[in-house]
């Protein structure tokens, strides 16, 4: 346990460490003027600049200024120095709801109370155009009176994040709690996705374990996509029926929050005071996130911040890996991996060395190389083929700093010419940078 005693800007003292992540630490603090307990989240500016989390942090500040509700962790103020950002937050003395569930399932009336508070908080977020997108017991805190507080809006989205199709497209969240349509990468309704996560949480509170669980991530996703779960025998019939409406894999027929609130089981012992949206929905002095996070204050000059690294790959998350996995590629039932127009492999080499190797191979095969941003390039044949000019796209995705996934696919030209070139020349030449081909058995 790390201990510190500091005075922050003559307004707060902060002491013991409450928790930490990759880019932030949270300390217990106290308002010097009022004596009120607070939690102070300290974010390292240089780290979030390096990994491109500036906009995410700005969004978190904006979102928390919009959602002031009794069951949402309150952001009191945001302060910053040249190197740090400080979120002064409501102190949730009861800790994470996860810690309670980890000890075993909750009694029905207790689980229902938390579920009621969760639904009313999420409904309020949606009324303000905010979609949480990472609802799980670890992000639900409890105050000293045992009231639930939704926290961690780092992955949240605002209504203006929707594309022209009216849907969100960023795949994020925690696999076991995420809705099937989110992983499909075809766009999703943030409201319906949050409702699914609430259903998973309700199951966990009452059962003490997850409805969808498998040591194999791909198998778990199959269960989620089909809503394959089994309620334990102690679940009341009305809970089973409600869960079947919430954990509906079809977002269009999934129950709405308004209908959940009308459900007889949900309404038992309901405290109606918080059902009405709070009128205090905005801070008296809203925080301007742009003034808090100025990329030019630290870590070099503006030119170093805006310089594009042509070899920098797109960052990959667990859901991208799932969707690209051959475990969900049904074409594998009909064609071998060497017959596909699109293949992937994992490499332990850096993005720049992968691109250098691909350029080297392209020169040997007399292919024209055109670089694109984000760790991608296009290889183009010099001669016209039967079905036009052969073009091959190569794209690199960062899984971790040590592993990259490389996707090679034919974008135009004759398929037979491409397959012949891939099997006879490209694949053998790439062997020295390949750690594993996707779809092939590895130790």
Residue 47 labeled ligand binder: no
Of 44, 109, 123, 134, the active-site residue reads 134
Cα dihedral 320/323/327/331 (nearest 10): -130
194 flagged as catalytic: no
- Active-site positions read 134
Annotated binding site for ATP: which residue ranges? 41
Binding residues: 41
């Amino acid at each position: 346990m790390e201990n510190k005693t500091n005075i922050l800007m003559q307004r707060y003292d902060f002491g013991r460490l409450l928790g930490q992540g990759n880019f932030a630490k949270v300390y217990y603090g106290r308002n010097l003027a009022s004596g009120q307990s607070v939690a102070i989240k300290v974010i390292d500016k240089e780290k979030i600049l390096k990994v491109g989390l500036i906009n995410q942090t700005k969004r978190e500040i904006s979102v928390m200024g919009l959602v002031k509700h009794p069951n949402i962790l309150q952001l009191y103020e945001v302060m910053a120095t040249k190197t740090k950002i400080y979120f002064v937050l409501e102190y949730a003395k009861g800790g994470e709801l996860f810690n309670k569930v980890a000890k075993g399932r909750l009694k029905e009336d207790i689980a229902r109370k938390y579920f009621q508070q969760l639904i009313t908080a999420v409904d309020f977020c949606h009324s303000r155009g905010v979609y949480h997108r990472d609802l799980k017991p670890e992000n639900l805190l409890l105050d000293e009176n045992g009231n639930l507080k939704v926290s961690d809006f780092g992955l949240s989205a605002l209504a203006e994040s929707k594309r022209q199709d009216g849907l969100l497209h960023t795949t994020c969240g925690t696999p076991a709690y995420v809705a099937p349509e989110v992983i499909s990468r075809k766009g999703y309704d943030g409201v319906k996705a949050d409702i699914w996560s609430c259903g998973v949480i309700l199951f966990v509170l009452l059962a003490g374990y997850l409805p969808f669980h498998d040591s194999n991530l791909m198998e778990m996703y199959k269960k989620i996509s089909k809503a394959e779960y089994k309620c334990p025998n102690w679940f009341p019939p009305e809970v089973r029926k409600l869960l079947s409406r919430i954990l509906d894999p079809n977002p269009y027929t999934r129950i709405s929050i308004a209908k959940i609130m009308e459900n007889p089981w949900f309404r038992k012992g309901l405290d109606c005071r918080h059902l009405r949206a709070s009128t205090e929905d905005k801070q008296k002095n809203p925080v301007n996130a742009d003034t808090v996070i100025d990329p030019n204050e630290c870590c070099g000059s503006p030119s170093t911040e805006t310089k594009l690294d042509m070899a920098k790959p797109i960052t990959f998350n667990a859901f991208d890996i799932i969707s690209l996995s051959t475990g969900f590629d049904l074409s594998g039932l009909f064609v071998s991996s060497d017959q596909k127009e699109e293949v992937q492999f994992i490499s332990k080499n850096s993005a720049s060395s992968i691109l250098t190797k691909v350029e080297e191979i392209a020169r040997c095969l007399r292919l024209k190389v055109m670089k694109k941003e984000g760790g991608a390039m296009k290889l183009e044949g010099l001669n016209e083929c039967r079905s036009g000019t052969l073009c091959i796209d190569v794209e690199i995705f960062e899984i971790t700093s040590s592993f990259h996934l490389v996707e090679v696919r034919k974008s135009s030209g004759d398929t037979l010419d491409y397959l012949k070139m891939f099997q006879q020349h490209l694949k053998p030449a790439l062997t020295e940078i390949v750690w594993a081909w996707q779809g092939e058995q590895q130790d």
